[in-house]
Amino acid sequence: MLNTVTEKALILIADDDEMIRQLIAAMLSAEGYRIIFAADGDQALEIVRSNLVDLVLLDVMMPGKTGFEVCQAIKSQPETRFIPVVLVTGLSRADERIQGIACGADDFLSKPVNCQELLARTRSLLRLKAFTDELENAETVFFSLALSIEAKDPYTKGHCDRLANYSVALAHRLGLPQEQGVALRRAGIVHDIGKIAVPEHILIKRGPLTPDEWAIMKQHPGIGERICSPLKSFRFVPQIIRHHHEKMDGSGYPDGLKGDQIPLAARILQVADVYDALTTDRPYRAALPQELAIATMREEARRGWWDSSLVEEMVAMVTGSRKLVEETEMSLSF
Ligand SMILES: [Fe+2]
């Protein structure tokens, strides 16, 4: 499978010197790679944004945007940051290489380009890209599975997405590190993935659950944690999933953690979860108006369920509606 991906890989060669473009293309075409050209930095960025490029070979000194700037732009966008970038340069000074590394370059090639070196690096980086693509596919499967569970209950439609957005915006507002924002986005989508193991008649039951049914339902955080643990890119996600039903006074499940023992990211997810649940229609009640939802959350925080400082942050966030839109937009970079 990797061979197939590698043989058909699309490689962008960006260089203002046509002779160099043709020379590199000749070396790569002989190996069966598909080639696309850019004559300057802006064109290179445009191509990367509108094509499924697998590898970028970037000249450093180009008219308009330099190779450093193009590399930085590629690496700063979530959609393109995993595309390997090689800086092709006549520069040999250490500080310029350091600048390349700071811009996120994956590798360097010196001019004049040595054919064997070019092919060896190309093969190695494309192999890495193929693994990254497979990982992305695995994540997509997880997200699809989680959304298919959500779809079983028409009342929770869109809940995971909103929950992820609220959680990320709250994490951003609190100034948490980006990796926590990324974990919260993923956890927001997959937090109930463990419900795959809960029989459907329990999952969609409208009346109160029996003690036996509750015992089964309470297993879903632990099952979700186990499902997501093998995925390395889901670092921090399993512990958020495990603890999303804990309560500040220790009356939650599965571990009965109290206060700060509950990971901060899990407490953030809870507050976002409660707000979304209260402000959307449920089978047993219509969506509450915002003021009533806020009063309910505050009362539940007083009762010892939720982190009251996070509830107040959430309230401040959702009542400054313009601010929320701005924060959600900013949080898209997570
Ligand atoms: Fe849950």
pLDDT in tens, 72-107: 999 998 788 889 999 998 756 677 778 888 899 998
pLDDT in tens, 295-330: 999 999 999 999 999 999 999 999 985 444 444 444
| Cis check: omega of the bond before 199, within 30 degrees of 0 | no
Residue with tokens 């069966």: 32
Cα–Cα dist 246/248, whole Å: 7
Q: Classify residue 230 as exposed, middle or buried by CB count within 10 Å of its CB (0-12, 13-18, 19+).
A: exposed
Which of 265 and 204 is assigned the larger pLDDT? 265
* Angle, in degrees to the nearest 10, between helices 290-302 and 308-319: 170
Tell me the pTM: 0.63
Can you give the pLDDT at residue 211? 94
pLDDT tops 90 at residue 58: yes
> Can you state the percent helix, strand and coil of the chain, rounding each to 5?
60, 10, 30
Backbone phi and psi for residue 149, each to the nearest 5 degrees, phi listed first: -70, -45
Can you give the pLDDT at residue 10? 95
For residue 242, report the distance from its CA to the centre of ligand 1, in Å: 9
Can you give the pLDDT at residue 40? 95
Question: Exposure pattern of 82-111 as b/e (b: 16+ CB <10 Å)?
Answer: bbbbbbbbebeeeebeebbeebebbbbbeb
Angstrom distances, CA of residue 305 to CA of 38, 107, 198, 248:
57, 51, 24, 5
Q: Compute the mean pLDDT over every residue in the chain, rounded to the nearest whole number.
A: 87
Can you give the pLDDT at residue 129? 87
pLDDT tops 50 at residue 331: no
Can you give the pLDDT at residue 160? 85
pLDDT band of 153, cuts 50, 70, 90: low
Can you give the pLDDT at residue 298? 97
pLDDT tops 80 at residue 264: yes
pLDDT tops 90 at residue 165: yes
For residue 192, report the distance from its CA to the centre of ligand 1, in Å: 5
For residue 20, report the distance from its CA to the centre of ligand 1, in Å: 57
**Percent of the residues in the chain that have a pLDDT greater than 90, as a whole number:** 60
Can you give the pLDDT at residue 91? 58
For residue 234, report the distance from its CA to the centre of ligand 1, in Å: 18
Pairing of strands 107-110, 55-59: unpaired
Residue type, 59: D
For residue 224, report the distance from its CA to the centre of ligand 1, in Å: 9
Residue with tokens 């690096």: 121
**Percent of the residues in the chain that have a pLDDT greater than 70, as a whole number:** 91
Can you give the pLDDT at residue 325? 44
Angstrom distances, CA of residue 322 to CA of 230, 317, 325, 327:
39, 9, 5, 9
Cα dihedral value 294, 300, 305, 309, nearest 10: 40
For residue 164, report the distance from its CA to the centre of ligand 1, in Å: 14
Residue with tokens 């690496």: 75
Q: Which residues contact 23 (CB under 8 A, 6 or more apart)?
A: 113
Pairing of strands 55-59, 85-89: parallel
For residue 177, report the distance from its CA to the centre of ligand 1, in Å: 25
